[in-house]
Structure 1
Amino acid sequence: MNSYEYLDTAVDPAEMRRLDAVRRYVLVDQPVEDAYDRIAFLAGAIFDTPIATVSLVEQDRVWLAACQGLTGVRSLGREPGLCASVIAQDDTYVVTNAARDPRTLEHPLVRGELGLRFYVAAPIRTHDGYRLGTVNAIDSRPRTATARQLRALEHLASMVSDELEMRLRLIRNTAGR
């Protein structure tokens, strides 16, 4: 176990390694940085959605490293999680109408005040293969995504990964002084 405590000591070893990867970038619980904010903005612009985020999936919550369209929200519960579903797979996750999609019918963001209908997310993968979170776009109306939009979202997720690696180099260089 690392120097921090895991909430549940029965966490799968692969998930513990993924959580270690999330935490090595020291981004959770930090102020919004311009690079991630710009990426969230671009995701919303590409899909013309009112909400877009860059998220990191922690053990018990989803930390929004950047969020366009929701003020005052920096974290959400992990379960039932759309972002947590995305990091369980390699592909882009698309929900065109959440009110009709069996994966999302009972989700609180679908049934609640937000009325989420459209959700698209690309997993953020580290250079060593861990899926840390997502770049996503959200709307309250159903819609479809084009192949070009999905590819652009994947590029944005790769850009987040590149930013994270630069952040890690800076952390290591600063610690080495």
Structure 2
Amino acid sequence: MPHSYPESLIPNDDAVRLRTLHQFQIVNTTPELIFDNYTAWAAQLFNVPISIISLVDKEYVWFKSRTGGPEVNGLVRDESMCAAAILTGEQVILSDYKSESCTLIKPDVAQAIGLNFYAGAVLTASDGARLGMLAAIGKEYREPTAEEIAVLVRLADLVTQTIELRYQYLAADQAAEWEDAQRALSLALDENVTLARYLITRNQRIDLTDPEVAQLIDRRLSNVAKVLSRRLSSHVS
């Protein structure tokens, strides 16, 4: 679980990262269904009560989407695990929210509501900038399986591609096309939600180490990826 963090929460090259983040014009924007679908799916896959898509701004960490947890839009930067998580060279960060686990942030908010588990995958833009995190959060610390970590990474990649697709449409003043793209992605994710409910009912939880379950999840994640790839390619062309 130990990770190597830098000495400061604000790295020297943060201005470059922030420039990329702000280019997407998604910081502090209203909720959008497709991102809410992603966090709902992540919470179900990890069997946790909370999942967020965070965007790490200069002084504040905005929650583009939040499933479960307190009804807040985000946290100040030095209170959010996501702010520290983007600083490591690792793709996935695990934490128990103990102060000795990461000295860069104040865990008061997390500890006040009994959080002891954080698993986050980095949202990395095509230029390498770390925009934020897709995180699964719970009250009981555990070591995620390799299968769970792999799925979280894949989901984070889908989230990042969706952020890029959103920007392409809105920058071209194609709001209607963006809404249509959201519907197409949501339709693919609806299949995932239905599957998750079935698996939870059958096993009381989603067990990604079960080959049959893993195959079903993989197939549906691949379908979402195909929708994104098709949309991104057609828009570029």
TM beyond 0.5 = yes
The equivalences for 1:13-162 within 5 A come to 14-91=13-90, 92-95=92-95, 97-99=96-98, 102-103=101-102, 107-112=107-112, 114-162=113-161
More helix, by proportion: 2
CA separation in 2, counterparts of 1:78 and 1:172?
A: 28
Q: Which amino acid aligns with 2:61?
A: V
Gaps of at least 5 residues in structure 2 are 1-9, 175-237
Gaps of at least 5 residues in structure 1 are 1-10
Post-superposition shift, 1:157?
A: 0.9
Change (3 A) 1:90 1:37: farther
Post-superposition shift, 1:71?
A: 4.7
Q: Which amino acid aligns with 2:121?
A: A
Instruction: Report the counterpart of residue 173 of structure 2 in structure 1.
Output: 174
More strand, by proportion: 1
CA separation in 2, counterparts of 1:146 and 1:158?
A: 19
Q: Which amino acid aligns with 1:65?
A: K
TM-score, length-scaled by structure 2 = 0.63
Spell out, residue by residue over 1:23-48, the C-alpha distance to the aligned partner (whole angstroms, 9 max, x if none): 11111221111121111111111110
Q: Is the 8 A contact 2:78 2:106 kept in 1?
A: no
Instruction: Report the counterpart of residue 6 of structure 1 in structure 2.
Output: none
Q: Is the 8 A contact 1:98 1:142 kept in 2?
A: no
Larger radius of gyration: 2
CA separation in 2, counterparts of 1:57 and 1:93?
A: 15
CA separation in 1, counterparts of 2:11 and 2:98?
A: 32
Name the Cα RMSD after superposition.
2.2
Spell out, residue by residue over 1:94-128, the C-alpha distance to the aligned partner (whole angstroms, 9 max, x if none): 12x4348532796113432x111011101100011
CA separation in 2, counterparts of 1:73 and 1:110?
A: 13
CA separation in 2, counterparts of 1:126 and 1:84?
A: 16
Q: Is the 8 A contact 1:124 1:161 kept in 2?
A: yes
Q: Which amino acid aligns with 2:151?
A: A
Post-superposition shift, 1:70?
A: 2.5
CA separation in 1, counterparts of 2:137 and 2:11?
A: 30
Percent identity of equivalent pairs: 26
Spell out, residue by residue over 1:110-148, the C-alpha distance to the aligned partner (whole angstroms, 9 max, x if none): 432x11101110110001110000000111122221111
Other structure's SS at 1:79 match: helix
Spell out, residue by residue over 1:52-89, the C-alpha distance to the aligned partner (whole angstroms, 9 max, x if none): 00000001111000000025211111103310111112
Instruction: Report the counterpart of residue 7 of structure 1 in structure 2.
Output: none
Change (3 A) 1:142 1:129: same
Q: Is the 8 A contact 1:61 1:78 kept in 2?
A: yes
Q: Is the 8 A contact 2:52 2:135 kept in 1?
A: yes
Number of residues of Structure 1 aligned to a counterpart in Structure 2 = 163
Q: Is the 8 A contact 1:54 1:66 kept in 2?
A: yes
Q: Is the 8 A contact 2:99 2:107 kept in 1?
A: no
TM-score, length-scaled by structure 1 = 0.83
CA separation in 2, counterparts of 1:111 and 1:38?
A: 26
Runs of 4+ in 1 over 4 A off after TM superposition: none
